Structure 1
């Protein structure tokens, strides 16, 4: 679009291509030939004040050239008054030639062009290179005709004055075409910028040769910064091979391609997701460019991930609820069977003599039945079906009282470190069930250690200014804002993978050969019945930290 030679001074319009130098030379050649022939052909010399062009213009060859070029010949005296104008001026401007004669040339020129015309006239020399100027002349219908004027010759007339001859070529159609093109370009730019699409044009090296404001905003880079780097270097390493391969194939084929969402590095270092469709085209100079039209996919990607996570969470909650109902039903029926076994065994032991050989067998039966009853209590706790007895529990004191039980399960080279805060608000809950939470979490921590390591048991309280999303399905969407007392158990063991973390609260799921998979399931049921929350932080090889939060009054 840009052609500096066809531009007006600052603020003025741009013009169509110059009048052909070949056309100008043809007109000048005709004039030179006529200047040599006319004085010889006329019997008398031209009288003072007469126009040499008036006589020259009668030549058919010159008339034909002017008509073909849509050009007008104008002769001016030294006061810039029009002495002669060729007859075809009426065809171009609607004015007869006699309407021009004797008037100051500036009276028919657009006011904005007059100063430019005067400057060129003053600078006009006697050299062979014509001086060019673009100007507008008034049409009879009120519009403006666009001319490109060339000073063709200067000579001394019979009256002794210096006259000048100029050729004016009508470029109105070209100017209007350029105006339509500029209007179309302006419309295109408005549409492109208004639709909020991130549009990038790149060469075969990945350098941006054009970008919209939305694209610059997307990456946080200026036009100069984008032009100085290959966009491939901004693409995430995991996505780069796919993007490069797709773009290079598009450069070869010229077909439309759709790039699946990929990541690009923003100027501040974070990654944005970009989705686009594009195709390559060949420029007039033969080089190929690729135009990508796309948009910021980051928010949509986040929404999709959140929706996917919510769906997985709901599925896991449903699975836990189903397993809990199943476990609760089995535990309830199993407990009904155990009640007479335990009762009758105790009665039988009461009836037996102290030295009866059957006593040892009955005691083994009783111990096995009691272990089975303990197992059913865990299953009922997971299902939330165990009766909740409300007490005011000092969490730090409860942990301290259970220290001997906790220590009994620790290996010789395992250190248990207590970090208990005294004077914590008392928790409303079942002391037996909360004690079971402590034991189950500590037991899991000890089993996560091979032969040596550290288990830290902490208590404390925390204020949640805002609701906290629950990490564990089955505990509700979020933990409400408020004051909480927490129990934290951390080990330096092997940690857990993401797959294991997703299933640790499933009833009967265990990674231990001898485990039954009910310890953490029971913890989940107890915390849920106490309207609490659970936080987990675990990575393979880096240990695990459980934090259980209970509402404080």
Structure 2
């Protein structure tokens, strides 16, 4: 190593208002900047090559000075030493900072020494405290969470925003690991993303979920970045913003998009169903008409009459399916008017009993003085009959009860059809109103789809609540009509 720094380095050190000099392995000065020479009252030539004892250090102090220097040469670690310099010109208390310098072979070749008066040290410490306070004020007013963790997952810093969001006190977090601060599943996710950042050694962005004090989950967009501190320890720093509302809005948009796609599919199916039902019903009219004519021409005792009867029954079933498809498509021509839903429910179930096993009871309970709804009574009758038929079929051959209740609430007329049957599995509940979806071997999958279409056209809503083995409730809500 050179005895003197490069010219440009010397110029920089000479301009500093701080005493700076270099000590070689023989404990003699190899360089002294201008403030050092001015303090000693000597020229650079008079300083270089001499020991500190020879340029004015007290013999009683020099022994401790040498001990600290040798420690710096031996360990290669920075150190400090205080020295009270006697007058002239005046008594001054110095604090020396040792910075070992290594040569090309890695061994300590010299020690750079910077000397400060105690007053200067106090000023520097005051400036450092002020800088730390400015940093703390900035971080605490940052409208985002900020934190630092070391490689062991121990928190070394969190800002006030972080503490406030989660209801922590500083002692709840600082010096603790993520496993001590968070539930096991949350801590595992945090450690996993920390490890990812250490592995790639660059900033990464993560969507992470952490609970509030009451357990409510919040979504955070966290940017994490790795760095190495002056102590050589690796850290992950992070800044996070609350995106819970944004995520909810995005989920709502996705749901709306899915509903729009579903509505477009239903509209396309409706057009197809309406056209197919119309054409097929015309064909059925010819078939059923000819079957009736043939039955009249065949003797009563002929076996062919039974075949013709079965043909007519099958044709009637096909015509019923056409009617369901037509209703699903909205192809019928409704004649709406003020209609009492409670009266329609009672009359429908009195005159048109749905298929049922002998052990099933159907109970109707409708409030008196219900407000009317604006609807075609025949359409409402179809809604009632379809829902009750489904409820009876859900009970099957077991004894059970189907309850039909009609009431008024919030300017709407509500009809609930409940059964104590087998219930609908959760995997199927969201699809019960889809066209052609059925779990029955002989089902068409159009009954509930037609009901949903009618209710939708009337400006109402329909929903199903169920649990496997606990029965099902269908709830129809229609707006009350006011003349």
Q: TM-score w.r.t. structure 2 length?
A: 0.68
Distance in 2 between the 1:65 and 1:329 partners? 100
CA contact (8 A) 1:234 1:265 kept: no
**Structure 1 counterpart of 2:390:** 444
Cα shift at 1:369? 2.3
Q: How does 1:53-202 map to 2 (within 5 A)?
A: 68=36, 166-167=91-92, 188-189=135-136, 192=139, 196-202=143-149
Q: 1:532 aligns with which of 439, 443, 460?
A: 460
Deviations 1:427-479 (A, max 9, x none): 2212222111112112222333353544332111111xxxxxxxxxxxxxxxx
Cα shift at 1:231? 3.5
Distance in 1 between the 2:327 and 2:212 partners? 50
**Structure 2 counterpart of 1:60:** none
**Structure 1 counterpart of 2:252:** 306
Distance in 2 between the 1:238 and 1:515 partners? 45
Consecutive unaligned residues of structure 1, counting only runs of 5 or more, are 1-17, 21-63, 73-85, 89-127, 129-148, 155-163, 464-482
Cα shift at 1:174? 6.5
Distance in 2 between the 1:518 and 1:225 partners? 60
Q: How does 1:458-469 map to 2 (within 5 A)?
A: 458-463=405-410
Alignment of 1:506 with 2:445, yes or no, is: no
Cα shift at 1:191? 5.5
Distance in 2 between the 1:404 and 1:552 partners? 24
Distance in 2 between the 1:496 and 1:196 partners? 48
Cα shift at 1:492? 3.3
Cα shift at 1:412? 4.4
Q: How does 1:164-313 map to 2 (within 5 A)?
A: 166-167=91-92, 188-189=135-136, 192=139, 196-204=143-151, 206-227=153-174, 230-232=177-179, 240-248=187-195, 250=197, 253=199, 255-256=201-202, 258=204, 260-285=206-231, 287-313=233-259
**Structure 2 counterpart of 1:489:** 417
Deviations 1:220-260 (A, max 9, x none): 33333333764446657655434323324555x58235353
CA contact (8 A) 2:462 2:476 kept: yes
Consecutive unaligned residues of structure 2, counting only runs of 5 or more, are 1-17, 21-31, 44-60, 62-81, 95-115
Cα shift at 1:285? 4.7
Deviations 1:370-395 (A, max 9, x none): 22222111101111111102244322
Quickly say closer, same or farther: Cα 1:369–1:528, change in 2 above 3 A. Answer: same
Distance in 2 between the 1:462 and 1:501 partners? 25
Deviations 1:321-354 (A, max 9, x none): 12121111110111122233344545566x6588
CA RMSD of aligned residues (A): 4.1
**Structure 2 counterpart of 1:97:** none
Distance in 2 between the 1:212 and 1:307 partners? 34
Q: 2:451 aligns with which of 506, 517, 523?
A: 523
Distance in 2 between the 1:364 and 1:223 partners? 84
Alignment of 1:457 with 2:404, yes or no, is: yes
Quickly say closer, same or farther: Cα 1:294–1:177, change in 2 above 3 A. Answer: same
Q: 1:409 aligns with which of 352, 355, 358?
A: 355
**Structure 2 counterpart of 1:8:** none
Quickly say closer, same or farther: Cα 1:250–1:360, change in 2 above 3 A. Answer: closer
Quickly say closer, same or farther: Cα 1:515–1:65, change in 2 above 3 A. Answer: closer
- Of structures 1 and 2, the larger Rg is shown by 1
Quickly say closer, same or farther: Cα 1:151–1:288, change in 2 above 3 A. Answer: closer
CA contact (8 A) 2:391 2:402 kept: yes
CA contact (8 A) 1:407 1:416 kept: no
Cα shift at 1:203? 3.8
Distance in 2 between the 1:223 and 1:330 partners? 71
**Structure 1 counterpart of 2:330:** 384
Quickly say closer, same or farther: Cα 1:369–1:234, change in 2 above 3 A. Answer: farther
Size of the aligned set, in residue pairs, is 393
CA contact (8 A) 1:485 1:550 kept: yes
Instruction: Give 3-state SS (helix, strand or coil) of 2:215's partner.
Output: coil
**Structure 1 counterpart of 2:278:** 332
Distance in 2 between the 1:233 and 1:490 partners? 50
CA contact (8 A) 1:417 1:457 kept: yes
Distance in 1 between the 2:200 and 2:129 partners? 27
Quickly say closer, same or farther: Cα 1:435–1:258, change in 2 above 3 A. Answer: same
Quickly say closer, same or farther: Cα 1:237–1:177, change in 2 above 3 A. Answer: closer
Cα shift at 1:211? 1.5
